[in-house]
Chain A
Amino acid sequence: MSEAVTAFSESAADYERLLDAVARSIAQAVGDACVVALRSEDGQTVTPVAMFDADDAIVAKFAPILNVSVPTGDAKLVTAANKGSLFMPMVDLDQLEGHVHVNLLAFARSIGVHGLMVVPLRSRGAMLGAATVMRHSSARAYDEIDLELTEHLANHAALALGNAKLFREQQRIQEALHHSEMRRVAEAQAAEANRFVDAILENIPNMVFVKEAKELRFVRFNRAGEELLGIPRAQMMGKNDFDFFPTSEAEFFVQKDRETLDGKKLVDIAQEPIQTGQGQRWLHTKKVPVCDEHGTPQYLLGISEDITERLAFIGELTSARDRAEAANRELEAFSYSVAHDLRAPLRAIDGFAQALLEDYASALDANGQRHLDRIRNAAQRMAILIDALLDLSRVTRAELRREPVDLAKLARIALAMLERSDPERKVDIIVPGELPARGDPKLLSIVFDNLLGNAWKFTARAEHPRIEVGCKTDDGERVYFISDNGAGFDNAYRDKLFGVFQRLHKASDFPGTGIGLATVRRILERHGGRIWADGEVGKGATFYFTLSEAP
């Protein structure tokens, strides 16, 4: 018996095995068959949940009705046992008709039951069910001791069953608690993540909206969107574009939405007009499909940047550029007509003054002839000025080419031309064998023509004229220089050297247009370089320049 009790407590945690143990213990203690039946929680049904008999054939006979619930009203003996054990050592099965479920009665008849005890299984005052023991062998009939033993075992079994049930319930409660805690934590985390995403969405300075994919109704909307449209988001939720925008606009938006969702890819709308509370605005919008795990678009995410101001700015820039280009074309036309139209009358002035000198020389005295000479000189000088101005404007307009160029070669060509134009002059010339650089050969030759032309001109009165071309490295930068020992200039005026029509010498001393150095500076600036000069009156001048190293 103590073995049986131990078995109960050992299997307490395992409810199924415990029930089998109860049936077996009781059957083996008092014989022959034992059926354990439990009442449902609501008391509506009774179910035989375990059965034991030493004879396997009898166990097999019971199998069809094991675990088959019957209405409590059909199991009156079990109900009756609640008030106390039923003890029927000699039983007439016919008398049990109507008190026992038909299945059990048929089973009892089939094995020839002749004695019966029904003992309640009670735990903490609650009726769990009952154990029914049946005598079908020829062994002695049940006596009071059998009943006591059965009740004793049943009490222990009930206690174990009660504990097991409690344990199970406790476990269920614990699991439920655990689950609810987990859920609560998960929910809190999700809520926190949501708040984080919301805060980001809310503070993005562009309009952000989300529409559900089916009917394209708004489900999310951020603050920038509210401010742009001038519509509170509460009004937007659940509505679609046709509720807020002119039909043509709404149709365009929806068409782009569909394009995004059907194509399952980002659609970029560079420029779209939208009617807002502050009038028409222009948006740059990107629409993105948001898909579920099967790749089916569920939402449409849209991000719109208000580009109204930028477009206006671009428009202003474009019209300013158009105006500048028009002005440039006008300047070109002007330059062209200057070349043609201003030179023609000069030619007439010069030509007819010469004609007068030739044809009417006898009618003019020396003074009259000198006047005509001055007219011719003035006309020719004006022609030179016009040409110099045209060169300057051409330098500004010409396309800049960048290619390898040997500056020493350009210097030698310019000096050779000067020597040929003035073969009487003897000038010491120092030019290195090679001065490699990158730039526009045509424009850079104008630089050397001008700078060496100046050096040539301003050394006219020097005792031992000397012109040097060279290059040095200053702070890692290549600096080219052209120096002479001519008339020089006062450094106080060196900033004026490079302006148009700025001259530091009287034309009668050294002829010049006052445009050459302005042209030189413009060429070097177009190359990304600089020019500066250093001089001393009577000692000479040095012009330095750089070229940008850009390719």
Chain B
Amino acid sequence: MSERVILLVEDNADDEDLTLRALKKSNIMNRVVVTRDGVQALDYLFMRGEFADRDANEKPQVILLDLKLPKLDGLEVLRTLRADPRTKLLPVVILTSSAEEQDVIRGYDLGANSYIRKPVDFTQFVEAVRQLGLYWLVLNQPVPGRS
């Protein structure tokens, strides 16, 4: 049986901690794999580099993707995911500071499943994370044969 992990792609340590805290406070107990730039995220997904030996049964239930990332930005990561048959159906939630219309449009255009702007108010942030966890990890029926 495969493990339902959450892949968090986030380069800011503060945001990482806060996201993990918010997930915990929302009682989402899934293991969270954290990658800190776009290249590392793709290495994890395609089992390359430092992740070459990881458990192949471990499949992300949802990817929380920041847009502004070192090396390869979030939109590029998304484009690569959607172009590969192994990852093209993975749910991707863009979780970012930007509310620029262009970023939202391009995100959806490249096949993002959801776009959430991180609120500054931590109480609101926890609520947002709780809702997205509930939706993607509990309510949403995943693609068959994937989990």
Question: Which A residues contact B (CB, under 8 angstroms)?
Answer: 336, 339-341, 343-348, 350-355, 376, 379-380, 382-383, 387, 390
Contact = CB atoms under 8 A, between A and B. Distances in A.
Contact of A346 (B12, B98, B100, B120): B120
Interface stretch (B13-21, B85-93, B106-114): B13-21
B18 to A, nearest CB: 4
Given A340-B68, A343-B120, A379-B120, A348 B15 contact: yes
A376 B121 CA distance: 8
Given A339-B97, A343-B120, A383-B119, 7 more contacts: A339-B99, A339-B100, A343-B97, A344-B14, A350-B120, A351-B125, A383-B120
B141 interface: no
Contacts, number: 59
B135 interface: no
Interface in B98-136: 98-100, 118-123, 125
Interface residues of B, number: 19
Given A339-B97, A339-B98, A340-B98, A347 B123 contact: no
7 smallest CB-CB distances across A and B, nearest first, come from: A383-B120, A348-B14, A351-B122, A351-B18, A354-B122, A340-B97, A343-B97
29 contacts: A336-B98, A336-B100, A339-B100, A340-B97, A343-B118, A344-B12, A344-B14, A344-B15, A345-B14, A347-B18, A347-B97, A347-B120, A347-B122, A347-B125, A348-B14, A350-B122, A351-B14, A351-B21, A351-B122, A351-B125, A352-B14, A352-B18, A354-B122, A355-B122, A376-B122, A380-B120, A382-B120, A383-B120, A390-B99
Nearest to A384: B120
Nearest to A342: B97
Nearest to B67: A340
A347 B15 contact: yes
Nearest to B18: A351
B18 A348 contact: yes
A347 B99 contact: no
A336 B17 CA distance: 24
Contacts of A387: 99
A352 B12 CA distance: 14
Contacts of A350: 120-122
Given A340-B68, A379-B120, A380-B120, A347 B98 contact: no
Contacts of B99: 339, 387, 390
Which of A339, A346, A347 has the most C-beta atoms of chain B within 10 angstroms of its own C-beta? A347
**Chain A at the B interface: SS class:** helix
A380 B121 contact: yes
Nearest to B21: A355
A382 B120 CA distance: 9
A347 B100 contact: no
Contacts of B119: 347, 383
Contacts of B68: 340
Nearest to B121: A380
A390 B122 CA distance: 21
A336 B96 CA distance: 12
Which of A352, A353, A387 has the most C-beta atoms of chain B within 10 angstroms of its own C-beta? A352
Given A351-B18, A351-B21, A352-B14, A344 B97 contact: yes
A388 to B, nearest CB: 13
Contacts of A340: 68, 96-98
A230 B112 CA distance: 71
A408 to B, nearest CB: 26
Interface string B20-59: 0100000000000000000000000000000000000000
Contacts of B122: 347, 350-351, 353-355, 376
A77 to B, nearest CB: 126
A355 B25 CA distance: 11
B119 to A, nearest CB: 8
Contacts of B15: 344, 347-348
Contacts of B123: 354
Nearest to A345: B14
B14 A347 contact: yes
Nearest to A353: B122
Nearest to A339: B98
A206 B21 CA distance: 79
Nearest to A335: B100
A345 B120 CA distance: 9
A164 B122 CA distance: 133
Which of A344, A345, A346, A390 has the most C-beta atoms of chain B within 10 angstroms of its own C-beta? A344
B32 to A, nearest CB: 17
Contacts of A343: 97, 118, 120
A339 B120 CA distance: 11
Contacts of B120: 343, 346-347, 350, 379-380, 382-383
Contacts of A352: 14, 18
A354 B97 CA distance: 19
A445 B68 CA distance: 30
Which of B99, B118, B120 has the most C-beta atoms of chain A within 10 angstroms of its own C-beta? B120
A371 to B, nearest CB: 16
